[in-house]
Structures are given as structure tokens and as C-alpha cells.
């Protein structure tokens, strides 16, 4: 085991490989507040990469309803319970965050996680298949088979695939909440799949940090399936190899015919109806810190405004997918899922300042990857109070630029209102 620095945890941690970082890192922000579970992302991915024989239950992009659902079934609850059983000590965050806005690239923006990660907990646990590099479990075939079944439906029998009750359920009166969690591989900084593979078939590309499985080296041992805390490598029975999200790397490289040679967002990102997704590439220094780039929209959202947070940072893989947490969900649930940055992130998102409001307009306005943004100030439009705080809206213009400095998007913060002419039957 080597000692590597994990800034999500705010401390060094044990990892089976030496610390080594790509020059750029594929990363994304999903705004959960906007996801409508239309599954356009899921189908865009499916129709591009996993439409063949043997890939029937393989969904590299999935959207699950929380807290009820998961693909594979109960993936996060299973691992949280395993960690609680194997390494129950100090599973909490200490208060020492150094993440004030004056120091955006801080080494511990969320404080320090004192419990054990999946790598640190692994040496105590020996699975039926032998010792593990990362604590994990292998889902059953049934766990993969029926994504979204029993989610958003009030009838059904838990744990019994395809068995529905015909009576109307009588639910107890309580406050209900749910949200949609869209997920792809996080192309983690310290991938558990890479750590676990006995064939060294999985690697992280030095140019963009995308994690790939070499199909010729893979022998289908499924160690990566067992180790990945997010359960994103998937076994394909007819090739006897494991496959996973490839981050649409031909598009990211600008080699897809549609890209005209410029880095382009993945299929799932660029098809998102709810405009919840923004994907980018982050410059990374040799020691793994993010090169300061406050005009990169992802850097701004994650490291400066701190409205976007990693998914289950306590697992320890330093995932490169970030989420703006949903406003309406009980905070203990969100703190378990996104760490202690939740309260500050939601507070800032609910009453956004001028810059944040402008950057939020960039989501899904172009399928080119935006490397930089600029804001041109416009007139004040209105002022109001939200949750006791003053909110002022300006009609600023936000501009996005590609890797060559070409303008790829220009949008006003104040959206125009279009009135339907009364020649239409349903005009107001």
C-alpha cells in the first residue's frame, strides 16, 4: 500500500498503487434539482455503446430514484452497511475545514474524514474469493436485472422481481421526499477497479484521466465489479469480459466526426433534456492538486462556489463526478451521501449570487466542452428576498470558450418570455 493524498477526505490515505496523476481530468457536475428522470441520457448511452448481445442489462448511464432505488439494487446501502460492520470506528467528519472562499483550492474543503475508506478497511475483510484490495461485494444477477422496478410505483412486493400486488397500498401519513440520481462511472482519481484488477487490465489515461478496461487483457474475474463502490464495471457473459463507461472518449478527444476536431461532451451529457449536466476537463498538477482556473466553470462550481459535491466521498476513490444536492431532501440523508459540504452548498444554490447565476446558465447550452467562461455585466432586472436574504437578478451575458479560445456559447441570464399569438387555440 502507498500513501496518497485525497482532498475529498482532507487527509492522506492508503492506496494499492503509487500516487500518479493525469495532466487533465475528465469531470462533470450534475444538478440534481433539475433532473426529471426522462432517461434520455440512459438511452443515448445505450443506443451508442451497449445495444449488442450480452449487454442487455448493462446500463453504463442509469438514473435511479432515491431513497428507494438503485442499480444494481441497494448498491450504496450494501456498502455502507459493510463498512459499518467491518470498520465502524470514527465514521464521521471532524470540523476542521479550511475551505473558505479566499482559498478555493484548499487541501481539506470539507474537513477531515476520520473513518476508514474501502481501501483501508479491506485488509480486515476476506471475501469468499480471497483477500480484497478494496472492501466490496459482488451483486447477484437479480440485483442487475430490473433497474427502476419498484421505483416511482406505490404497489409491488419488495425483493420479489416481477411480482405485483393488486390491492392499493395504504401508506402511513408522513412527509415524503425523493429525488432522481443520474450516475455514470466517476473516472475516479484513485479507482477501486484499477486497484482490484489482478491482470492490470484497467488503466487511467494520462491525457484525460478516463478509466478504461483493456478488453484483450480482461479475463472476467469480476474483481473490479466487486471493488467499485459505485458498481459501474459490468460483466458481459458472452465475451466473458467486463465492460464499463468509456466517457465517450472519441468525442472528448475531438475524433468523433460530429466534433469538427474540438473536444465535445459525451452522449449522455449532450442529450440531457433537463439541462442538469455540465462536463469538462480540469488541469491537474503533478501532485494531484487542481491547477487554479477560476474561469473554468467546473473549477468555479466545485472549488470556488462549492455548490457541487462528490458522491459518497467517504468511500475514498476521489470520484470526479460532482452533484448539486437537492434542496428539499432531509439533510442527514444528504450529508451521508455528499459529505459535510451539503448545508453550505444548498444555502448558496438557493440564493445564488451574480456569478453563480450566470455560470448555471451554461449547463447544456452547447455540446462543445467549455474550458473558460466570461461574464459581461448587464442591467439590474429585479430584486427580491429569498429565505430572508436579498436576491438581485441582473441581465448579464455569459460567454463560454473552447480549448482554442473560440466562443462556443453566448447566453443571457434573463430568459426572454415568448407570448403565443392568439391565432393558436390554446393561447392565453
Asked if 29 and 117 count as a contact pair (C-beta separation under 8 A), the reply is no
Near ligand SF4 by CB under 6 A: residue from 192, 308, 346, 408: 192
Near ligand SF4 by CB under 6 A: residue from 39, 108, 116, 303: 39
Nearer CB in complex with ligand SF4: 38/350: 38
Near ligand SF4 by CB under 6 A: residue from 24, 244, 251, 303: 244
Near ligand SF4 by CB under 6 A: residue from 80, 135, 211, 375: 211
Using CB under 6 A as the binding criterion, the count of chain residues that bind ligand SF4 stands at 29
For residue 35, state whether it binds ligand SF4 (rule: CB under 6 A).
yes
Paired residues of 264 in beta bridges: 368
Nearer CB in complex with ligand SF4: 194/342: 194
- C-alpha span between 219 and 55 (Å, rounded): 17
- C-alpha span between 316 and 6 (Å, rounded): 7
- C-alpha span between 60 and 45 (Å, rounded): 7
For residue 414, state whether it binds ligand SF4 (rule: CB under 6 A).
no
For residue 276, state whether it binds ligand SF4 (rule: CB under 6 A).
yes
- Interacting span for ligand SF4 (CB under 6 A) from 79-87, 158-166, 190-198, 398-406: 190-198
Paired residues of 374 in beta bridges: 399
Asked if 256 and 250 count as a contact pair (C-beta separation under 8 A), the reply is yes
Report CA 196 to chain centroid distance, whole Å.
21
CA distances (Å), 286 to each of 222, 318, 319, 331, in order?
Answer: 31, 16, 18, 36
- C-alpha span between 193 and 210 (Å, rounded): 13
For residue 41, state whether it binds ligand SF4 (rule: CB under 6 A).
yes
* C-alpha cell read off for 144: 442487475
For residue 63, state whether it binds ligand SF4 (rule: CB under 6 A).
yes
For residue 186, state whether it binds ligand SF4 (rule: CB under 6 A).
yes
Q: How many helices (H) and strands (E) does the chain have?
A: 12, 21
Nearer CB in complex with ligand SF4: 211/375: 211
Residues 6+ apart with CB under 8 A from 388: none
Closest contact distance (angstroms) between CB of 157 and ligand SF4 is 26
Asked if 336 and 274 count as a contact pair (C-beta separation under 8 A), the reply is no
Nearer CB in complex with ligand SF4: 26/373: 26
For residue 230, state whether it binds ligand SF4 (rule: CB under 6 A).
yes
360-379 footprint of ligand SF4 as x/- string (CB under 6 A): --------------------
For residue 191, state whether it binds ligand SF4 (rule: CB under 6 A).
yes
Residues that bind ligand SF4 (CB under 6 A): 35-41, 63, 180, 182, 185-188, 191-193, 211, 228, 230, 232-233, 244, 272-274, 276-277, 317
Amino acid at each position: 500500500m502507498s500513501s496518497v493524498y485525497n482532498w475529498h477526505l482532507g487527509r492522506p490515505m492508503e492506496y494499492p498503487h503509487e500516487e500518479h496523476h493525469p495532466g487533465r481530468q475528465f469531470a462533470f457536475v450534475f444538478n440534481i434539482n433539475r433532473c426529471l428522470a426522462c432517461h434520455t441520457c440512459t438511452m443515448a448511452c445505450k443506443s451508442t455503446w451497449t445495444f449488442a448481445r450480452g449487454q442487455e442489462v448493462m446500463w453504463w448511464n442509469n438514473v435511479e430514484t432515491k431513497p428507494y432505488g438503485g442499480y444494481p439494487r441497494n448498491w450504496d446501502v450494501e456498502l455502507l452497511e459493510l463498512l459499518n460492520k467491518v470498520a465502524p470506528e470514527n465514521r464521521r467528519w471532524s470540523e476542521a475545514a479550511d475551505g473558505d472562499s479566499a482559498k478555493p483550492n484548499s487541501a481539506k474543503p470539507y474537513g477531515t474524514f476520520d473513518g476508514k475508506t474501502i481501501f483501508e478497511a479491506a485488509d480486515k475483510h476476506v471475501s469468499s474469493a480471497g483477500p480484497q484490495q478494496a472492501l466490496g461485494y459482488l451483486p447477484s444477477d437479480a440485483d442487475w436485472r430490473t433497474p427502476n422496478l419498484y421505483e416511482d410505483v406505490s404497489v409491488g412486493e419488495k425483493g420479489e422481481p416481477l411480482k405485483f400486488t393488486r390491492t392499493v397500498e395504504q401508506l402511513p401519513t408522513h412527509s415524503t421526499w425523493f429525488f432522481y440520481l443520474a450516475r455514470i462511472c466517476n473516472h475516479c482519481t484513485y479507482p477501486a477497479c484499477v486497484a482490484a484488477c489482478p491482470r492490470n487490465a484497467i488503466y487511467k489515461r494520462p491525457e484525460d484521466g478516463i478509466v478504461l478496461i483493456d478488453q484483450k487483457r480482461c479475463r472476467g474475474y469480476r474483481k473490479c465489479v466487486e471493488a467499485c463502490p459505485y458498481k459501474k464495471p459490468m460483466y458481459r457473459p458472452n465475451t466473458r469480459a467486463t465492460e464499463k463507461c468509456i466517457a465517450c472518449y472519441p468525442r472528448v478527444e475531438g475524433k468523433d466526426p460530429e466534433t469538427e476536431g474540438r473536444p465535445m461532451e459525451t452522449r449522455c451529457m449532450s442529450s440531457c433534456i433537463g439541462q442538469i449536466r455540465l462536463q469538462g476537463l480540469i488541469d491537474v498538477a503533478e501532485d494531484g492538486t487542481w491547477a487554479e482556473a477560476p474561469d473554468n466553470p467546473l473549477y468555479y462550481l466545485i472549488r470556488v462556489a462549492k455548490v457541487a459535491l462528490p458522491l459518497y466521498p467517504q468511500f475514498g476513490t476521489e470520484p470526479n463526478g460532482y452533484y448539486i444536492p437537492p434542496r428539499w431532501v432531509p439533510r442527514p440523508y444528504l450529508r451521508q451521501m455528499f459529505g459535510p459540504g451539503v448545508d453550505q452548498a444548498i444555502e448558496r444554490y438557493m440564493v445564488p449570487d451574480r456569478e453563480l447565476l450566470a455560470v448555471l446558465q451554461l449547463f447544456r447550452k452547447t455540446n462543445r466542452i467549455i474550458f473558460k467562461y466570461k461574464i459581461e455585466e448587464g442591467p439590474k432586472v429585479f430584486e427580491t428576498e429569498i429565505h430572508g436574504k436579498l436576491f438581485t437578478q441582473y441581465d448579464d451575458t455569459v460567454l463560454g470558450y473552447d480549448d482554442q479560445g473560440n466562443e462556443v456559447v453566448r447566453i443571457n441570464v434573463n430568459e426572454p418570455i415568448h407570448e403565443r399569438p392568439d391565432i393558436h387555440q390554446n393561447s392565453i
